[in-house]
């Protein structure tokens, strides 16, 4: 077992717990009589975040000199925040939520505060400070924009604002994933 494989067990476990929690709430979040679209879209966005982070982390499998306690700590914070966000979206008992809109707005400040923190971390990761990897310019621009959008959602309780931002972030994330697939295929 390589050092990276050893470290990736911790990342994978935290991500798996978050994905498990999110998948447990998907059916309930999309039930016709209870669905609130901004909430449902953010849930899908966060599940995609987990998959893309897990995939992105593989880039560091050969960077053995990069890993130390600080870089491990900085790398595991992202999936921990992701778990907390997914947990705030679906709770421990998603079938008991009868009004996802009400639940969403009761949790939105916590969720978007974490999202802003996550955007700052992602900006740091993608700028590759102290890393052997090149700067991911589009990623840094995207995470900076996500930070700004998170602040808007933190302050707002307007349905249209939350809906549009959830869709924009979802589309941006899909484009980011596609660009990473194209970059990896080119290598």
Q: Is the pLDDT of residue 186 over 80?
A: no
Question: What's the whole-number mean pLDDT along residues 160-169?
Answer: 96
Name all contacts of 117-122 with Cβ < 8 Å and 24+ positions apart. Answer: 117/81, 118/78, 118/81, 118/82, 118/85, 119/143, 119/144, 119/146, 119/147, 119/150, 120/147, 121/74, 121/77, 121/78, 121/81, 122/78, 122/146
pTM here?
Answer: 0.89
Q: Is the pLDDT of residue 167 over 90?
A: yes
Local confidence band at 140 (pLDDT 50, 70, 90 cut-offs) = confident
Q: Is the pLDDT of residue 182 over 80?
A: no
């Amino acid at each position: 077992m390589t050092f990276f494989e050893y470290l990736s067990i911790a990342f994978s476990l935290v991500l798996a717990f978050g994905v498990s929690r999110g998948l447990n709430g998907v059916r309930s979040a999309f039930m016709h009589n209870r669905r609130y679209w901004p909430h449902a879209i953010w849930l899908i966005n966060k599940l995609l975040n987990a998959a893309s982070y897990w995939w992105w982390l593989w880039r560091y499998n050969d960077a053995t000199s990069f890993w130390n306690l600080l870089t491990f700590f900085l790398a595991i914070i992202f999936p921990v925040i992701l778990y907390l966000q997914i947990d705030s979206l679906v709770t421990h008992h998603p079938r008991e939520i009868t009004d996802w809109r009400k639940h969403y707005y009761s949790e939105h400040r916590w969720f978007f505060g974490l999202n802003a923190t996550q955007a700052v971390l992602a900006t740091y990761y993608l700028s590759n400070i102290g890393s052997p990897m090149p700067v991911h310019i589009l990623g840094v621009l995207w995470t900076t924009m996500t930070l700004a959008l998170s602040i808007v959602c933190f302050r707002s309780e307007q349905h249209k604002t939350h809906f549009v931002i959830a869709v924009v972030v979802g589309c941006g994330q899909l484009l980011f994933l596609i660009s990473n697939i194209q970059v990896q295929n080119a290598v």
